[in-house]
Each structure stands twice: as C-alpha cells, then as structure tokens.
Amino acid sequence: MSQLNSRVIVDGDAVFTEFKGALAEQYVFQQLTENENLLVRYFTFDNSKYEIDFLVQTENNQIIPIEVKSGVNLTANSFQLFCQKFKPAKAIRTSLADYKKEEVMTNIPFIRNKFGF
C-alpha cells in the first residue's frame, strides 16, 4: 500500500529500523493476496503468546504456514511449535538468508520470492 521499493525494507533506512518486521510482513501479505487462488489468514494459538505470520489455504485445501523474517535471525519459536503440532506438508519461511530446504520448512530469500504455490 505504501508502494515502497522492497530494497528500502531490506537495506534498512533509519526511519524503518523499528518497523522493519511489520513492513516485511505487509510486503509479503501484498504479494500473497495478488494470487486470487489463495486464502490468506493470520493465526494465534489459544493462549495468544504465539502467532504465525500467515496461513495460506491453496485451491486443493493444502494449509501452508508462512513465517516472515526481516533479517537473518531465523529464530521462530511459534513457527516451529506450529509445525510440530500440526505437521503441515509444506512450511515456508522468507528471510534475508539464502534458499535452504530443511526437513520441516523451506527458507525462501525475501527479495527473490514470488510465492508461486
């Protein structure tokens, strides 16, 4: 909505330092909602201590959790807890880290992803 270039978020302008995570999540949300075949939702656990950035439902009813990290710190306790509890077939984290496919999730570099489910 702000029409900020994604490089502003990634490179970090002093004005955006405090809100970098929220801007990254907003950017990913906008990219996800461009695909009309996806249903995008926010998820919190019952005790509201944990949250998942996005849950995406595909046309074939597959649920994919998505974690957005605006930097290279990839700690995501809520995301890992969600994956352990619900065991999704696919889980995605997007961050500044390189592409990496792990047993539980796949990390997609923030700038290059297009979320082509």
The SS3 call for residue 77 is helix
What are the residue ranges spanned by the domains of the chain?
A: 6-109
The answer to whether 3 and 43 have CB atoms below 8 angstroms apart is no
Q: What is the pLDDT of residue 117?
A: 34
Q: What does the pLDDT look like over 84-110, one tens digit per residue? A: 888 999 999 988 888 889 887 898 887
Q: What is the pLDDT of residue 10?
A: 65
Q: What is the pLDDT of residue 60?
A: 85
Q: What is the pLDDT of residue 116?
A: 37
Residue carrying the six token digits 């502003």? 8
* Region for residue 3 given its phi and psi (left: phi exceeds 0; alpha: psi -120 to 50; beta: otherwise): left
Low-confidence ranges of the chain (pLDDT < 50): 112-117
Q: What is the pLDDT of residue 88?
A: 92
CATH architecture assignment, domain 6-109: 3-Layer(aba) Sandwich (3.40)
Which residues are within 8 A (CB) of 17 and not within 5 positions of it... i.e. 6 or more apart? none
Neighbours of 116 (CB within 10 A): 5
How much is the pTM? 0.72
The answer to whether 84 and 75 have CB atoms below 8 angstroms apart is no
Q: What is the pLDDT of residue 30?
A: 83
